[in-house]
Amino acid sequence: MIYSSHPVEPHVRQRILAALTDIEHQHHVTVLFACESGSRGWGFASPDSDYDVRFIYVNRLPWYLTALPQRDVIELPISDVLDINGWDLRKALGLLRESNPTLLEWLRSPIVYRQDDAAMGTFATLAQAHFSRVRAWHHYAAMAKKNFREYLQGDAVRYKKYLYVLRPLLAARWIAAHDAGAPPMRFAELAEQVLDAGRDAALIDEINRLLEVKMRAGEAATSARWTGLHEFITRELAHHADHPLQAPAPRADVRELDAYLLDTVQRFNQERA
């Protein structure tokens, strides 16, 4: 069993909900979905980890009817512990069409602050229909390779950087083993599904020891290299180089996305009237 925790302090949750309400009033939008991303969503937050809140919102009708492009992102200044930003629904649908892994992770977050069930139920169905195994695999494989090259080459490494390599490595392995669908966001669930309790017992033990110390230490804490983790990462990256995933991309029919956008914008503008 892989150790996991998703702490959200009650007073911080209230701050987040209040911030989302303020965003709606100040920007004249409706928040359809808001979740926790980053280390709290993955399940290995440190005591001083930020709250990475991500959301999808729908604008008022005139915003969509101008010939000039409008800003489609809302970002709040990062405060003491809050990092809050979101995407307009049309931007989110464009990323959904490209099977954007970051967006797909939001949809599987174990920490949801706000959700319109009707709108997001259809959104999730569209995300599944447009999911591309090959795009997702290459995203995670490239992320693992990049993070390994940038963060794990020194004699001393930050605990969290190991997890920033392990998580995409395991996600790529999960995708290669499954015919459809995006991998779990929770690191513990992901690891338990792709690692064998018998064959990988030593690796699982080392991952758990890493998680235990990481979740007690600060974000900047470092240690000497973890030999078992380094060996596993090196083998897995070599396997990626020799066996890249090849699979057909789904046919992206933009008409169903357009229809969903139109229906959602009309529904929420009628509710405001």
What pTM was computed for the model?
A: 0.93
CA 104 to chain centre: 6
123, 183: one domain = no
236, 167: one domain = yes
The answer to whether residue 5 sits within a structural domain is no
C-alpha–C-alpha distance, residues 241 and 190, integer Å? 22
114, 159: one domain = no
61, 169: one domain = no
Q: Please tell me the total count of domains within the chain.
A: 2
Consecutive 10-residue averages of pLDDT for the chain (273 residues):
80 96 97 95 91 97 92 93 96 95 95 97 94 94 97 90 96 92 93 94 95 87 92 96 82 88 93 66
C-alpha–C-alpha distance, residues 126 and 109, integer Å? 17
79, 154: one domain = no
32 touches 116 (CB < 8 A): yes
Which stretches within 133-273 are classed as H helix? 133-151, 159-177, 187-194, 201-214, 227-242, 254-272
SS (H, E, C) 106-170: HHCCCCEEEECHHHHHHHHHHHHHCCCHHHHHHHHHHHHHHHHHHHCCCCEEEHHHHHHHHHHHH
25, 91: one domain = yes
The CATH number given to whatever domain includes residue 123 is 3.30.460
The answer to whether residue 247 sits within a structural domain is no
The answer to whether residue 149 sits within a structural domain is yes
82, 181: one domain = no
20, 123: one domain = yes
Nearest to residue 92, comparing CAs of 103, 81, 83? 103
Q: Note down the domain range covering 198.
A: 133-242
147, 173: one domain = yes
Encoding tokens for residue 173? 């392995």
61, 193: one domain = no
185 touches 108 (CB < 8 A): yes
93, 167: one domain = no
C-alpha–C-alpha distance, residues 214 and 68, integer Å? 47
Nearest to residue 83, comparing CAs of 219, 211, 206, 182? 219
Residue 43, phi-psi category: left (phi > 0), alpha (psi -120 to 50), beta (remainder):
left
* Model pLDDT, residue 219: 82
* Model pLDDT, residue 249: 66
C-alpha–C-alpha distance, residues 53 and 42, integer Å? 13
56, 159: one domain = no
Residues with Cβ within 8 Å of residue 76, at least 6 apart in sequence: 19, 23, 82, 84, 85
